[in-house]
């Protein structure tokens, strides 16, 4: 492949991209703050905390707050590994091109497949979670049909914003970030000043949560609050070809996403815990929706509507950022001719500077998942069960590929490197990720049918199995001649394995 450098773009960025084998069609309209805002709105602390707060508090009581700190530290290790990779390979698509350069085509195909399905299901989960809020905002009946229509309306709005191009996406991300952060701070401060029922000591009191024998199991169940909160930073790298000086700017944006998003999530969660008057009622199940109860009591009907508006804006921004990430991943697949439909997925609108068919895919598949709620009340829940697991699997496949490449001689050469800390940070990131994955798949409802008890593990196995079948039947990935497995230094002259194949080819597993 011998790409030509497009005129009118930022020369050094495009020259670096050309040296990696690509000529970008995107326009570098995304500033450093817009890139950070994209990651922040994807992480969306308001969406994460408002969705998972009741589950965490009921499972482990107020100490569930500490899962946010633990998960934040673990995911920071992952973000640092990603920062080294994206600084050297600032290519659109995120985990797929990173795995491709670190390991090989087949490994990258599976990494991207798992992550793409996880993104689609996460988009569906976010807009479905927003549906009831939108219905409540306008006073609609929260029937299944109404919630589905409201969810599809939010999905359509997010898709339109993405279709308007990178500059509009960047502006919307900044607005979403500002509104969500200011809203989170304002709500937290108001609750702490006017509606605080406990002091900080309550954060170390479990209030009898758990089965009374081993609190660690209760905390592990509640730790899903932290695990589900800290992803989104990778979206900063998904749009690497739309950012100026990506080798420096994207690593900074990833770290800021963890710092600011984690601080905002923890602050809101602490304020909510201190504002819940009757914590034992939440643990016993008597109060199943403590967030709504706190907001109604603290802000009244009119104030709650304003908060509801901020929450809805957070959901829209989150869906929009997820779609941007999914579409760039699908486009990256198409550009490398790695999947059926590549001709459409790699199509590019020169007017909008976006991949229209990849964006359409990122809207159509989640819409189908949302419509599934019409036919089965728990179909969406079971589908979404895979979302977080898939994202963590995609992350850890890149972390593992980076560790393998590092042990085989890879020395990160981008504008951001960890130096001598690279190997220990890489190992720490892998250990954290494996522990988080085990925590997610661990069965916790022995009274439920076995397939419900193991639904997260089963959904992951089904997605991986489908991917393996596709790879066996449709060998598109094997015909792609785009660069791969080039992070590890080569011996000169290029050696061959026992079968006479190129070393790069033998590592493509």
CATH of the domain at 361: 1.20.1740.10
Rounded mean pLDDT, 467-491? 85
Q: Is residue 393 part of a domain?
A: yes
pLDDT-derived band at 3 (thresholds 50, 70, 90) equals very low
pLDDT-derived band at 272 (thresholds 50, 70, 90) equals very high
DSSP 3-state percent helix, strand, coil across the chain (nearest 5):
70, 0, 25
User: What is residue 407's predicted lDDT score, i.e. its pLDDT?
Assistant: 95
User: What is residue 501's predicted lDDT score, i.e. its pLDDT?
Assistant: 39
Q: Is the pLDDT of residue 409 over 90?
A: yes
d(CA 362, CA 487): 30
Q: Is residue 13 part of a domain?
A: no
**Peptide bond just before 134 cis, omega within 30 deg:** no
Rounded mean pLDDT, 174-182? 89
More confident residue, 140 or 238: 238
Q: Is residue 234 part of a domain?
A: yes
**pLDDT above 90 covers what percent of the chain?**
50
pLDDT-derived band at 43 (thresholds 50, 70, 90) equals confident
Q: Which residues contact 108 (CB under 8 A, 6 or more apart)?
A: 96, 97, 99, 100, 338, 484
Q: Is residue 21 part of a domain?
A: no
Q: Is residue 23 part of a domain?
A: no
Q: How many CB atoms within 10 Å of residue 25?
A: 18
Rounded mean pLDDT, 68-85? 95
Residue numbers of the domain that contains 346: 33-506
> Into how many domains does the chain fold?
1
Q: Is residue 20 part of a domain?
A: no
CA angle 355, 358, 361 (to 5 degrees): 150
User: What is residue 384's predicted lDDT score, i.e. its pLDDT?
Assistant: 63
Q: Which residues contact 96 (CB under 8 A, 6 or more apart)?
A: 108, 109, 111, 112, 115, 329, 332, 333
Mean pLDDT for all residues in the chain: 86
User: What is residue 372's predicted lDDT score, i.e. its pLDDT?
Assistant: 81
More confident residue, 208 or 91: 91
Q: Name the nearest CA neighbour of 250 among 80, 496, 76.
A: 80
Q: What is the pLDDT of residues 348-394, one digit of tens each?
A: 998 888 999 999 999 999 999 888 877 765 655 566 667 889 999 99
Q: Is residue 218 part of a domain?
A: yes
More confident residue, 284 or 451: 284
Determine which of 73-82, 135-144, 224-233, 371-380 has the lowest per-residue pLDDT on average.
371-380
More confident residue, 226 or 161: 161
Rounded mean pLDDT, 128-149? 81
d(CA 325, CA 383): 20
User: What is residue 491's predicted lDDT score, i.e. its pLDDT?
Assistant: 63
**Left, alpha or beta for 417 (phi > 0: left; psi -120 to 50: alpha)?**
beta
Q: Is residue 320 part of a domain?
A: yes
User: What is residue 299's predicted lDDT score, i.e. its pLDDT?
Assistant: 85
d(CA 56, CA 61): 7
d(CA 218, CA 213): 10
Rounded mean pLDDT, 105-116? 94
Rounded mean pLDDT, 156-171? 92
Tell me the pTM: 0.89
């Amino acid at each position: 492949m011998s790409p030509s450098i497009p005129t009118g773009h930022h020369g050094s960025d495009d020259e670096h991209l050309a040296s990696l084998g690509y000529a970008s069609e995107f326009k570098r309209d995304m500033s450093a703050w817009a890139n950070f805002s994209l990651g922040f709105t994807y992480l969306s602390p308001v969406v994460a905390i408002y969705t998972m707060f009741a589950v965490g508090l009921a499972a482990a009581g107020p100490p569930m707050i500490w899962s946010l700190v633990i998960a934040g530290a673990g995911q920071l290790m992952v973000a640092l590994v990603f920062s080294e990779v994206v600084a050297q390979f600032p290519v659109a698509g995120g985990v797929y091109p990173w795995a491709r350069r670190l390991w090989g085509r087949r490994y990258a195909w599976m990494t991207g497949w798992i992550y793409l399905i996880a993104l689609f299901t996460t988009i569906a989960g976010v807009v479905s979670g927003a549906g009831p809020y939108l219905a409540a905002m306008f006073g609609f009946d929260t029937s299944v049909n109404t919630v589905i229509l409201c969810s599809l309306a939010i999905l359509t709005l997010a898709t339109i914003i993405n279709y308007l191009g990178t500059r509009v996406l960047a502006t919307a991300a900044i607005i979403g970030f500002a509104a969500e952060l200011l809203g989170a701070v304002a709500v937290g401060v108001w609750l702490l000043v006017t509606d605080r029922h406990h002091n900080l000591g309550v954060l170390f009191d479990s209030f009898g949560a758990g089965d009374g024998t081993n609190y660690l199991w209760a905390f592990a169940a509640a730790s899903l609050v932290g695990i589900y909160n800290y992803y989104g930073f990778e979206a900063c790298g998904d749009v690497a070809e739309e950012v100026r000086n990506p080798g420096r700017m994207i690593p900074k944006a990833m770290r800021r996403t963890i710092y600011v998003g984690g601080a905002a999530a923890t602050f809101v969660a602490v304020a909510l815990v201190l504002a819940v008057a009757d914590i034992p009622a939440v643990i016993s199940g008597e109060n199943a929706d403590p967030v709504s109860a706190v907001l109604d009591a603290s802000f009244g009907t009119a104030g709650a509507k304003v908060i509801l508006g901020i929450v809805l804006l957070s959901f829209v921004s989150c869906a929009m950022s997820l779609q941007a990430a999914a579409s760039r991943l699908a486009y990256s697949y198409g550009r490398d001719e790695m999947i059926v439909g590549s001709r459409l997925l790699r199509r590019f609108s020169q007017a909008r500077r976006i991949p229209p068919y990849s964006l359409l895919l990122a809207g159509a598949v989640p819409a189908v998942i949302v419509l599934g709620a019409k036919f089965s009340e728990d179909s969406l829940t079971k589908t979404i069960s895979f979302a977080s697991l898939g994202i963590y699997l995609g992350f850890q496949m890149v972390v593992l590929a980076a560790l393998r490449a590092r042990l085989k001689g890879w020395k990160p050469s981008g504008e951001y490197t960890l130096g001598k800390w690279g190997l220990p940070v890489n190992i720490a990131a892998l250990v954290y990720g494996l522990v988080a994955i085990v925590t997610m798949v661990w069965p916790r409802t022995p009274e439920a049918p076995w397939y419900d008890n193991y639904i997260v593990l089963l959904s992951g196995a089904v997605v991986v199995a489908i991917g393996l079948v596709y790879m066996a039947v449709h060998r598109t990935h094997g015909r792609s001649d785009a660069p791969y497995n080039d992070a590890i230094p080569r011996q000169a002259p290029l050696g061959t394995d026992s079968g006479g194949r190129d070393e790069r080819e033998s590592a493509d597993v």
